[in-house]
Amino acid sequence: MQKFFYPRRVAVVGVSEDPANLAQGIVANLLHFQYQGKIFLVGRRPGATFGLPIFPGLADLPEKVDLAAILAPARVVPALVRECGQLGISRVVVESAGFSELNEAGRTLEEEVRVALKQYGMRLVGPNGLGLVNLEIGLALPFAQIGSRVHRGRISIIAQSGGVATHVLAWMTKEGLGLNKFLSLGNKLDVAENEVLEYLLEDPGTEAIYVYLEGMQDGRGLLKVANRATKPIYLHLANVGPETAAIAQSHTASLTTDERVLEAACRQSRLIRVKTQSEFLNAARLVGQPPLRGNRVVVFSRSGGEAVVTAYACRQFGFTLPPLSETLVQSIQARSRAGVIRPTNPIDLGDVFDFTLYTDIMAAVCRDPGVDGVLFHYGPVADFEREPARKMARRMLELAREAKKPLVITVLCTLDEENYLRDTLGAPVFHFPEDAVQALALSRDLAARRESLSLAEPPPLQKLQKAAAIAETLAGPHPGGFLPLAQALTVIEALGITVAPWAAAMSPEAATAAAGRLGFPVVLKLSAPSLIHKTEAGGVELDLRDAAAVQQAFARLARVARSRLPPREAWQVVVMSQVAGGQELLLGARRDDSFGPVVAFGAGGVDTEILDDIALRVAPLNPAQARDLMAETRIGRILAGARGRPPADLDSLSQALAALSQLMLQFPQVREVDLNPVRGFPGKPGLVALDARIRADGPA
Query: How far apart are alpha carbons 516 and 199 in whole angstroms?
Result: 66
Q: Which residues bind a copy of itself (CB under 8 A)?
A: 97-98, 102-103, 144-145, 159-167, 170-171, 212, 214, 238-242, 275-278, 301-306, 308-309, 311-313, 315-316, 338, 340-341, 350-351, 379-380, 412, 431-435, 535-536, 606-607, 610-612, 634, 637-638, 642-645
Whose Cβ is closer to a copy of itself: residue 154's or residue 167's? 167
Whose Cβ is closer to a copy of itself: residue 438's or residue 661's? 438
CB of 306 to a copy of itself, least distance (A): 5
Interhelix angle 326-335/355-367, nearest 10 degrees: 180
What is the Cα gyration radius of the chain?
32
Whose Cβ is closer to a copy of itself: residue 458's or residue 644's? 644
CB of 537 to a copy of itself, least distance (A): 10
CB of 11 to a copy of itself, least distance (A): 26
Report CA-CA distances (Å) from 54 to 20, 69, 86, 132. Answer: 16, 14, 21, 22
CB of 672 to a copy of itself, least distance (A): 20
Whose Cβ is closer to a copy of itself: residue 239's or residue 424's? 239
CB of 664 to a copy of itself, least distance (A): 28
CB of 165 to a copy of itself, least distance (A): 8
CB of 38 to a copy of itself, least distance (A): 29
Rounded to the nearest angstrom, the gap between the alpha carbon of residue 145 and the centroid of all alpha carbons in its chain is 30
73: exposed, middle or buried (C-beta count within 10 Å: 0-12, 13-18, 19+)?
A: exposed
CB of 412 to a copy of itself, least distance (A): 5
DSSP state of 526: E
Q: Is 541 helix (H, G, I), strand (E, B) or coil?
A: strand
CB of 442 to a copy of itself, least distance (A): 16
Query: How far apart are alpha carbons 142 and 145 in whole angstroms?
Result: 7
Whose Cβ is closer to a copy of itself: residue 379's or residue 501's? 379
Interhelix angle 104-120/77-87, nearest 10 degrees: 0
Whose Cβ is closer to a copy of itself: residue 340's or residue 700's? 340
Report CA-CA distances (Å) from 352 to 339, 348, 367. Answer: 9, 9, 22
At residue 544's C-alpha, the angle toward residues 524 and 515, to 5°, is 65
Whose CA is closest to 358, among 369, 370, 371, 348? 348
Whose Cβ is closer to a copy of itself: residue 239's or residue 330's? 239
What's phi and psi for 182, nearest 5 deg? -145, 135
Whose Cβ is closer to a copy of itself: residue 53's or residue 163's? 163
CB-based burial, 159-194: b 16+ in 10 Å, e otherwise: bbbbebbbebbebbbebbbebbbbbbbbbbbbbbbb
Whose Cβ is closer to a copy of itself: residue 14's or residue 291's? 14
